[in-house]
Amino acid sequence: MVRTPYGAVSGRFERGAAVFRGIPYAAPPVGPLRFRPPVPPEPWDGVRDAGAFGPTAPKPPYSEAFAQYLSDPVVAGEGWLNLNVWTPEPGRGARLPVLVWLHGGALTRGSSAVPVYDGQPFARDGVVFVSVNYRLGVEGYGLFPDAPANPGLHDQLAALRWVHESIEAFGGDRGRVTLCGQSAGAISVGALIAAPQAQGLFRRAVLQSGPPEALDRDKVRRMVRRMATRLKIPATAEAFAAVDPAVLLRAQAETGRLSSPVLGGPAFGIVVDGDLVPRDPLEALVEGTVARDTDLLMGWTRDEYRLWLVPGGLLERVDRLGPVALAGAMARCHCGGEVVRGYRALRPDAGTAEIVGQLVTDHLLRIPLHRLADARPGSSYVYEFAWPSGRTGLGACHALELGFVFDTGEVPEARKLAGEGAPRELADAMHRAWVRFAVEGDPGWRAWGTTHPVQLFGDGEPHVVHGPRDAELALWAADAGAPEPAPESDPPSGRSTRGTELRSAVRRLRRSVGVRRH
């Protein structure tokens, strides 16, 4: 039993760790609190049972194509703003390092209840592990004229404040908190590193396959407006709050049908709001105006794009589209033909889908993370995960590294993505690196510098390679002076021929592949 600022909770001893699940860090965001920043939970009398995961935020299920690779449990209830704690030594005085986990899922799916995110291996190795649920989709990231922006990010900030106030009672040290996330969780981490309100709440940060970024506000507004049109209601928080949640989720799923990391399109995301996100997080971090003392561990998987394109046969369809797909990728990435030709020269045996996938991966992930590392040499550590899945076609895809980082490769949900035969020694090495970073701020290889050292986790012994992506990134630097196509929402007048052709290619590509956002 442990006392929090809002009441006592009782957990369970499991496999050598004390586990507390479903602890509320904020009040249920329903009724008048819907679409609003979180408020503290109501204190409770007695001892609250913390033996089971708390409710998960409303979310649409994965499509059948993605569900064969990814698991996303649903726990019913309205108290979505809850967290879980695994600790080897509950009670004040232990002062152990803490790792706080923000799950991915495109800010529309995912939860802390995914079995791959079991915190027991971290607790086993002396780290207090905290995993967080937060609002998703339109509830967490819709942009309305009558409600504040980014309530889901405010949820995460509230969870960090709870950790700051409460974690010492669970054996943690609030001065040694590492904030960690993957995909949308990493994007959230990046925004929180740069958020003035989050300063002092964590000391280190891990960004797995997600850069600091702020989405264009009009892109999020278009998502809300399209949902409003489908629902035949005004695009306001008041009108959305009156819609049955199940109906809202169906409209959200249909509206986001043609959105994906490869194709772009309207989506939910963190936006600059003049408050929690006063400016673009990447620019703030690169300029060094905030969080100069935050140690960073960041990286990507070799074949991120394969999780976006392999399910449902999209990889083959993009290959068949050939020039249309390449033109669409140029528009998506705001690059010219020289970049595409350079990628072709570097990968003479690659098909169209691989070229498109790597272009988009570099544009979305590797270039911004390189910029961030360049701005913080000596305190940034970069990795690439390159072990190929045993599942046909996935390669070293997006999210595959998670079972290795958590050392949970034996659970069925990890094998859905990795297949059989995942190397035990690779999980040992990756998990040990993440633990060491949380404990010491150093994962065990050279910090970023002029030679661009990158720790490669693949077949065989992990080792450092220097500048493995420098040739590709040099192509983007050479292309930086080329004119970019106008945004998709610009009026027809004044558009360049290049911009018009590329936008038309994006629309044809979306219609051709009919990709569903996972």
H helices of 104-215, in order, are: 120-124, 137-141, 151-166, 184-194
Active site residue 401: no
Task: Catalytic residue, from 112, 183, 188, 259: name it.
Answer: 183
Q: Provide the 3-class DSSP secondary structure of residue 179.
A: strand
Strand order in the sheet with 96-102: 12-14, 17-24, 82-87, 128-132, 96-102, 172-182, 204-208, 295-301, 380-385, 453-457, 463-466
Rounded Cα distance, 268 and 216, in Å: 10
Q: Are 233 and 144 in contact (CB under 8 A)?
A: no
Inter-helix orientation angle 217-231/245-255, to 10°: 120
Task: Catalytic residue, from 363, 370, 398, 518: name it.
Answer: 398
Active site residue 380: no
Q: Are 418 and 394 in contact (CB under 8 A)?
A: no
Which residues, including other chains, have CB under 8 Å from residue 274's CB and lie 6 or more apart? none
H helices of 101-244, in order, are: 120-124, 137-141, 151-166, 184-194, 217-231, 237-241
Q: Provide the 3-class DSSP secondary structure of residue 101.
A: strand
Calculate the alpha carbon distances from 373 to 70, 302, 370, 398 in Å: 30, 18, 5, 21
Rounded Cα distance, 175 and 200, in Å: 8
Tokens 């990447």 map to which residue? 282
Rounded Cα distance, 507 and 310, in Å: 20
Rounded Cα distance, 496 and 65, in Å: 38
The number of CA neighbours under 13 Å toward the Cβ of 255 is 26
Rounded Cα distance, 242 and 228, in Å: 12
Task: Catalytic residue, from 168, 213, 304, 488: name it.
Answer: 304
Q: Are 11 and 90 in contact (CB under 8 A)?
A: yes
Rounded Cα distance, 498 and 486, in Å: 9
Q: Are 197 and 174 in contact (CB under 8 A)?
A: no
Rounded Cα distance, 302 and 299, in Å: 10
Q: Are strands 47-49 and 7-10 parallel, antiparallel or unpaired?
A: parallel
Of 180, 158, 200, 187, nearest to 438 by C-alpha is 180
Q: Are 81 and 38 in contact (CB under 8 A)?
A: yes
447 DSSP assignment:
P
Rounded to the nearest angstrom, the gap between the alpha carbon of residue 155 and the centroid of all alpha carbons in its chain is 15
Active site residue 425: no
> Six-digit token pair at 388?
């190929």
Rounded Cα distance, 251 and 399, in Å: 27
Please identify every residue annotated as catalytic.
183, 304, 398
